[in-house]
Amino acid sequence: MRSPLALLAVITLANACSSSSGHGSSQGALTGVSATVVIGQSSFVSKGTNAGGDTVSARGFNQPVGDASFAGGRLLLPDTGNHRVLEFAGLPTASGASATGVHGQSDLTSGTPSLAPARFYLPHSVWADTSRVVIADTRASRVQLGPGATPVLVGWGVDGTYRTGCAADMLSDPWRAIVVGTRLIVADRSNHRVLVWNEVPTAPGPADLVVGQQDLEHCAPNDSLGSGMPGGRSERSLRFPTDVWSDGERLLVVDQGNNRVLLWNHFPSANGAPADVVLGQEDFHAGAGKATQSGMSGPGFVASDGIRIYVADVRNNRVLGWRSFPTTSGAPADIVLGQEDFIHTGQNGHAAAVSARTLDRPMGVALVGSSVIVTDTYNNRYLVFSVP
C-alpha cells in the first residue's frame, strides 16, 4: 500500500500544452474564479498542514483527499493524513471555521491510523445521507458502512479480518463509495474496476456487477477482452478508477490512469458494459494526458447535480466544469477553477502563489447548491466557489 501522495506517482502521466481560451468569459467559458470561503486555513494565502500548527485540531487538515458530502445540514470533509473525517454544522460562510464533530477519532485533537472498526487508515472520500455515513477507508482496503461503532466492513472477511485482493467480495485501495437508491457503488482503484452491490450490504459479501472488467474474478488494467492481462483502452476498460457518480440512471467513472472520465447514459446491467461517452479524450482508444480545454491529466474525482459535471483534473492543478452533460466524446469544458485560462497548469497558478484562485493537486470536488467545494490537497484546505 502507498500513501495518498505516493499513489499519484505510480501512474505515468504526460502533460502536453496547447492553446485554448483566455481570461474571463470567452464563448461562454468561465475562468479565473475566486473562492469565497476557505476551510482549513485562516486566510487564502496560507497552506500549512493542520492550519499551520504542529498539532491536530478542529480547524486544520493534513493533505485531504476525496469528495466532501453535505446531508442533513452537516458538511463532512475527509482529512486523509489525519485519518479522520471532520463534520461541520452547515456550509461555513466565513473562513477558518472549526469542525463540530469528528469520525474516525475519539476527539478533535487525535490523528492516528487504525484498522479497528469505525477508525480509519488514510480515508479517501465520504458519502452521507440523513441516516448513513459511508467511508472509503482506502489503505485498509475496505468500505465502512455506518454510522456507529460497529459498521459493516465491505471488502473484509465476515469475521472482521483484514484482507485485500481480486475477488467478488474483496477490494484493493478503494477510493470512493456511494449509495444510490438500493445500490452500493465502489471505485476499486487498484483492481481497475467499479463494483456494484444491487442491495446495500448488511454484512460483507460479493458484489453483483462489475464495470471495467468482463467478470468479477479478473483485475488487470485495460483488460477489455477478459484475458486477465493488460490490454488496450476501450469503452469497456479501466485503469486506476478513482471516483464514481450516479443518479440511478446514468453513471460517471473517473478513469485516472487513462486520463479520462467515462459516461454511461444508462446504468450498466451486465458485467463489462461499454460506456457511451468519454471526456478528456477524443475517443475511447486515446489516453495521453493533455492540458487543453477538452483534455485531462490524472483526473481524480467527479461531481454532478444531474445537470452540471465537475472534474478534479489533478495533474493540471485545476477543476474543469461542464454546464450540461455532453452527448459527444471529447467535448470541451465550459469552466475552469484554479487557473486563469485553459492553457496554464502550474501548481498554485502560473505565478505559483497561494490565493483564492489557485489550486495545488486538487483531489476532490463536490456540489452543494450553487457552491463547488474543491479539496485542495497540497494546500491542506478546502475552497468554496460560488459558480453561476
Q: Write the pLDDT tens digit of every residue in 37-53.
A: 999 999 999 999 999 98
Residue 58 CB burial class (10 angstroms; 0-12, 13-18, ≥19): middle
pLDDT at 364 over 90: yes
Note down the domain range covering 344: 4-386
Q: What is the pLDDT of residues 133-182, one digit of tens each?
A: 999 999 999 999 998 889 999 999 999 999 999 999 999 999 999 999 99
Q: For strand 335-337 and strand 318-322, is the pairing parallel, antiparallel, or unpaired?
A: antiparallel
- We report the CATH number of the domain holding residue 274 as 2.120.10.30
CB 178 within 8 A of CB 244: yes
pLDDT of residue 11: 37
pLDDT at 100 over 70: yes
pLDDT at 23 over 90: no
CB 250 within 8 A of CB 325: yes
Number of domains in the chain: 1
Task: Tell me which amino acid residue 280 is.
Answer: G
Can you tell me the distance from the alpha carbon of 305 to that of 93, in angstroms, rounded to the nearest whole number?
21
pLDDT of residue 375: 98
Confidence of residue 28 (pLDDT cuts 50, 70, 90): confident
Nearest to 113 by CA among 85, 86, 82: 82
CA distances from 239 to 261, 262, 268 (A): 11, 12, 18
pLDDT at 6 over 50: no
pLDDT of residue 350: 85
**Which residue, chain included where needed, has cell 460560488?**
386
Can you tell me the distance from the alpha carbon of 274 to that of 242, in angstroms, rounded to the nearest whole number?
18
pLDDT of residue 12: 36
pLDDT at 15 over 70: no
pLDDT at 91 over 80: yes
**Which residue, chain included where needed, has cell 470533509?**
77
DSSP code of residue 7: H
Confidence of residue 17 (pLDDT cuts 50, 70, 90): very low
For the chain, the average pLDDT equals 93
pLDDT of residue 18: 33
Dihedral (CA of 74, 79, 80, 85) sign = negative
**Which residue, chain included where needed, has cell 468500505?**
143
**Which residue, chain included where needed, has cell 498539532?**
55
Give me the DSSP letters along 187-198. Answer: EEGGGTEEEEES
> What percent of the chain has pLDDT above 70?
93
DSSP code of residue 67: -
pLDDT at 289 over 70: yes
CB 200 within 8 A of CB 186: no
Q: What's the Rg (C-alpha) of the chain? A: 19
Nearest to 241 by CA among 11, 80, 68: 11
Confidence of residue 9 (pLDDT cuts 50, 70, 90): very low
pLDDT of residue 147: 86
Q: What is the pLDDT of residues 320-358, one digit of tens each?
A: 999 999 999 999 999 999 999 999 999 999 889 999 999
Helix (H, G, I), strand (E, B) or coil at 279: strand
Identify whether 147 is preceded by a cis peptide bond (ω within 30 of 0). yes
Average pLDDT of 113-140? 97
Helix (H, G, I), strand (E, B) or coil at 378: helix
CB-CB neighbours of 53 under 10 Å = 11
Q: What is the pLDDT of residues 249-273, one digit of tens each?
A: 999 999 999 999 999 999 999 999 9
Can you tell me the distance from the alpha carbon of 324 to that of 175, in angstroms, rounded to the nearest whole number?
25
pLDDT at 16 over 60: no
The predicted model scores a pTM of 0.93
CB 330 within 8 A of CB 290: no
